[in-house]
Amino acid sequence: MKKMLIIVLAVIGLGVPAALYFLGIVDISGAEAEVVTEGEEDGSQMLDDHGDPIAEESDETGEALYFPLNPPFVVNFSHLGTLRYLQISLEVMYEDQQFIDRVEQEMPAIRNQLILLLSDQKYEKLASYAGKQELRGEMIAAINDLIVEDEQAAPPHGDIFITNFVMQ
């Protein structure tokens, strides 16, 4: 009974401060943050309610913009007569918002192309690091083919990242 009471008190003693911190009620960093409003122009970084810097949105090139391709892709393929499954979550990255906008606009065609590409893969390729890297190159090339309006233009600087990979 005494051990149980100690455990309950320890959980409450650690849980309450953690909950208050994560809810933003208590700041345990010890640093005082200066909250800057939008109207102030003193060169200070704008901070959110927790004192963290707020990233300014920019249309300048050179800044990486990420866009998740949701929901995750689930495809099946055959390996040695056995049906296998692949679940893969992807995010694209471009340095220009216009390409992110084009990805959103062309999402049905992009999903179709990636599903066909993924379901045509060999197990041995998907099981190796080099094979996954090769697949990433094929996927971003397929996306670029769909989002570039001017066929004479150079392909945009972009990349694709695998954020979850489950093969069964």
Q: Which two tokens stand for residue 13?
A: 């003693």
Q: Which residues contact 114 (CB under 8 A, 6 or more apart)?
A: 69, 73, 90, 139, 142, 143
Highest-pLDDT range among 8-12, 40-44, 134-138: 134-138
- pTM > 0.85: yes or no: no
At residue 14, the pLDDT reads 54
- Residue that wins the pLDDT comparison between 27 and 95: 95
Kindly report, residue by residue over 43-79, the tens digit of the pLDDT.
455 555 545 554 444 444 568 999 999 999 999 988 8
Identify the weakest region by mean pLDDT among 30-44, 95-109, 139-153.
Answer: 30-44
Where in the sequence of the chain do the CATH 3.30.479 domains occur? 65-167
Q: Check residue 35 and give its pLDDT.
A: 40
What's 63's DSSP letter? S
| Contact between residue 95 and residue 62 where contact means Cβ atoms under 8 Å apart | yes
- Smallest CA-to-CA distance from 121 within 160, 73, 163 is with 73
pLDDT, mean of residues 75-102 = 92
> Which of 3-7, 75-79, 147-151 comes out lowest in average pLDDT?
3-7
Which CATH architecture group holds 65-167?
A: 2-Layer Sandwich (3.30)
What share of the chain has pLDDT > 90, as a percent?
51
Distance (Å, whole) CA 99 – CA 147: 7
